[in-house]
Amino acid sequence: MTQLSDIQALILSAAAQRPEHIALPLPASLRGGAAAKVVGAMLAKGFLQEVDADLRKGEPVWRETGDGHGVTLVATGAGLAAIGIEPEDADAPAGANEAPIEEPAPNTPNEPKAAPKARTPREGTKQATLIAMLRAPGGATLDEIVAATGWLSHTARGAMSGALKKKLGLTITSEKVDGRGRVYAIRD
């Protein structure tokens, strides 16, 4: 199943309840750059689509184009499917069920699982240094990592938790070694 953030699910759920699946207005807590980032991600995934706003019907405007026309946001068939709703063809907006929009949806659940293993750190970076230290036979202590990277201890722990575990999909182990303290290592 497609992973949605809470705000993305909220936007799509609200759109599913509105006529023609219009995604506007966005939640009041989502403004400015945050709104643009969330909407941009949803457009890229094919969950939302920009369509010309019909001002005669009073459709809300997301943004104005350079030629003075307004654009609104509409939930696509893929967006509705992401929240478990089968779109009805009669109620779906024009173009919401076209193949180019729905094609990315079946691949979306598989891509995030494969993506972490495809990422590799650039050579010579602090992250590459961290990985090399953790892959060494004895692993590395937090003090050793801090000394080698110049990071603060909370940054080093965050890099192991976020970048290595979550983004790269590596398994980090931690054990207490007598005379050395807590030693971190990558388990393959």
State the Cα torsion 161-7-74-87 to the nearest 10°. Answer: 90
- Token pair for residue 1? 């199943």
Q: Do 134 and 184 meet the contact criterion of CB atoms below 8 Å apart?
A: yes
Mean pLDDT of 100-111: 45
Least confident range of 6-20, 112-126, 129-143: 112-126
Q: Do 65 and 71 meet the contact criterion of CB atoms below 8 Å apart?
A: yes
127, containing H or E segment:
helix 126-135
Give the CATH class of 119-187.
mainly alpha
Q: pTM for this structure?
A: 0.45
Q: Do 35 and 94 meet the contact criterion of CB atoms below 8 Å apart?
A: no
Residue 116 in this model has a pLDDT that exceeds 70: no
For the domain spanning 6-112, the CATH number is 1.10.10
Residue with tokens 């705000």: 7
Dihedral sign (CA 38, 40, 44, 46): positive
Domain pair 6-112 / 119-187, same fold: yes
Neighbours of 126 (CB within 10 A): 16
Mean pLDDT of 125-136: 90
Domain edges within the chain: 6-112, 119-187
Least confident range of 33-42, 88-97, 155-164, 173-182: 88-97
